[in-house]
Chain A
């Protein structure tokens, strides 16, 4: 059950299109007809998936439990071998070759859904330093970077604590600090705020959005519909296939699809639907508390 380590592995040089593949125009993630099947499973966990993500983009991935979100995250990070694809490139690395997957593991930061699977060291600060040590950073540089990450994720007081003595939220923050410590161009985050308190959720979401201005591409898997609202695009999965890819408003505007997929609207949208059912439709579908208040007051 324990997945292989997402930590950077030995350098490898399998790239597609040569070393210039990271040019500003080229997508950082580009997969076409990506397929995956778990050993012994009767059907594909992912069947023919297309996804393109460019620098600075924030793409949310949603879907019911078991729809293939975590499988997609692991494939994009080079942690699983695809059953096939007509194209599968992450940061210029070919995910269809063993060498390319090893290289992708260095380039793509992956946060696992369960932080227990990510924590490998004896204490919090060693865990945050792990990826930097593997990259051969100088000890002083590691120290400075680790201290910066500990502070950013409110872990300074816990720096020497053993992972098994951390709460769920503290484990998740440690795993996030370790993934974000290593400079990357692509982050794949699998429910990064699931264990966090509301303030921690807002802070992590802000931090991830802030990284986009530096050109980082983010694939953000979530069950929190409120977190989808600020995404550039949203991809909805059903039984391993993309059934929606486009703007956030387009997904939430298709309520029948949202229900079929086992999803929901942000809280403000759910209330608007109930209001419409009770005989008071609003002029437009609100997705935030601000929009809901405006719509309710404007209609008075």
Chain B
């Protein structure tokens, strides 16, 4: 079975992409370049329509870049083994629960691994593991019809369908949208565990607080171009850059600054903040 303990490295070099429309092509990505190390987590930020979803689809290989290339573990699309690397990239779409279709939770999660031609015993083990990982124990939830689950359970089931294929690079498109706060906290814990397990994560989101809690680095897109890439800049320049992209600084960074503390020391979690302020 695929070794999932090592995350994949990701690099984009000069990636451009346009959508075709009758009148004229709409440029969505322009000369996008960045690198992400194995097991690192990246917050993909930017205003609505800045190209976040498009970039995830190009990295997954659903759309071919018209210029530039996507390197997975250093390999490009012309290299042998690229198709296998691409299979190890998991993409969780926006509102993925709309794509649940099977008659039971277990069958829905099994669809991907089966399509990869895995032996049935491996499929079964992967399904159990994935359901466990997202907090839907297979003995309790495996036989349930997906539509009989709550919205938050459906979101986690859809995530399990991607995790069952044991991705080494996991791309998530607005995974927290429309979830209630308790389910957000649960999903945040799941992603923290995946991160601790070594999976490389890319999280496209408008939620800068969850991005701050979960991600080592950030990539800010502005009209399809890279406006910033690398570690979070919590200084004045970083704050202005986020504001220019219709974003804001994370709550804990803002709080540290307003309390006269060094924003560079701002904690990543509420619990750590309470410990520091106690």
Chain A positions near chain B (C-beta within 8 angstroms)? 63-66, 113-114, 160-162, 165-170, 172-173, 191, 194-201, 223, 225, 259, 262-264, 267-268, 270-271, 274-275, 277-280, 289, 292-293, 296-297
A259 to B21, CA, bound (A): 48
- A165 and B21 contact, CB distance less than 8 A: yes
Q: Give, as a whole number of angstroms, the nearest-CB distance from A96 to chain B.
A: 28
Residue of B nearest to A170 (CB): B49
- B94 and A168 contact, CB distance less than 8 A: yes
- B181 and A196 contact, CB distance less than 8 A: no
- B49 and A169 contact, CB distance less than 8 A: yes
Partner of A64, one of B26, B180, B251, B270: B180
- B26 and A65 contact, CB distance less than 8 A: no
A264 to B152, CA, bound (A): 15
- B258 and A289 contact, CB distance less than 8 A: yes
Partner of A162, one of B21, B53, B180, B277: B21
| Given A167-B49, A198-B206, 15 new contacts (CB under 8 A) | A161-B26, A165-B21, A167-B48, A167-B52, A194-B178, A197-B46, A197-B247, A198-B248, A199-B246, A199-B248, A223-B180, A262-B181, A264-B185, A278-B277, A293-B259
A76 to B48, CA, bound (A): 30
Question: Is B23 in contact with chain A by the CB < 8 A criterion?
Answer: yes
Q: Give, as a whole number of angstroms, the nearest-CB distance from B247 to chain A.
A: 5
Residue of B nearest to A260 (CB): B182
Q: Give, as a whole number of angstroms, the nearest-CB distance from B136 to chain A.
A: 14
Neighbouring B residues of A292 by C-beta, 8 Å:
255
Q: Give, as a whole number of angstroms, the nearest-CB distance from B52 to chain A.
A: 8
Taking residues whose C-beta sits less than 8 angstroms from the other chain, chain B's interface range is 35 or more
- B47 and A197 contact, CB distance less than 8 A: yes
Residue of B nearest to A225 (CB): B181
Question: Is B84 in contact with chain A by the CB < 8 A criterion?
Answer: no
- B246 and A200 contact, CB distance less than 8 A: yes
| Residues A197 and B180 in contact in the complex (CB < 8 Å), given A64-B150, A280-B278 | no
Neighbouring A residues of B233 by C-beta, 8 Å:
none
The 8 A CB mask of B167-192 against A (1 = contact, 0 = none) is 00000001001111111110000000
A262 to B258, CA, bound (A): 30
Chain B positions near chain A (C-beta within 8 angstroms)? 19, 21, 23, 26, 46-50, 52-53, 94-95, 150-152, 174, 177-185, 206, 208-209, 243, 245-248, 251, 254-255, 258-259, 270-271, 273-275, 277-278
Residue of B nearest to A193 (CB): B206
Residue of B nearest to A172 (CB): B48
- 9 smallest CB-CB distances across A and B, nearest first, come from A169-B48, A264-B181, A65-B151, A274-B274, A199-B246, A262-B182, A66-B150, A167-B49, A65-B152
Neighbouring B residues of A223 by C-beta, 8 Å:
178-181, 184
- A264 and B182 contact, CB distance less than 8 A: yes
- A113 and B21 contact, CB distance less than 8 A: no
- A297 and B182 contact, CB distance less than 8 A: no
Residue of A nearest to B276 (CB): A278
Neighbouring B residues of A289 by C-beta, 8 Å:
251, 254-255, 258
Neighbouring A residues of B255 by C-beta, 8 Å:
271, 289, 292-293
| Residues A196 and B48 in contact in the complex (CB < 8 Å), given A65-B178, A223-B178, A262-B180 | yes
- A66 and B151 contact, CB distance less than 8 A: yes
| Residues A267 and B209 in contact in the complex (CB < 8 Å), given A65-B152, A293-B258 | yes
- B278 and A114 contact, CB distance less than 8 A: no
Neighbouring A residues of B46 by C-beta, 8 Å:
197
Residue of B nearest to A266 (CB): B251
| Residues A274 and B270 in contact in the complex (CB < 8 Å), given A65-B151, A197-B47 | yes
A194 to B174, CA, bound (A): 10
Neighbouring A residues of B274 by C-beta, 8 Å:
271, 274-275, 277-278, 280
A161 to B49, CA, bound (A): 12
Neighbouring B residues of A65 by C-beta, 8 Å:
150-152, 178-180, 183
A228 to B147, CA, bound (A): 29
A270 to B152, CA, bound (A): 21
Partner of B48, one of A114, A161, A168, A267: A168
A259 to B94, CA, bound (A): 26
A259 to B278, CA, bound (A): 23
Neighbouring B residues of A280 by C-beta, 8 Å:
274, 277-278
Residue of A nearest to B272 (CB): A274
- B19 and A199 contact, CB distance less than 8 A: no
Neighbouring A residues of B270 by C-beta, 8 Å:
267, 270-271, 274
| Residues A198 and B208 in contact in the complex (CB < 8 Å), given A165-B19, A223-B181, A270-B270 | yes
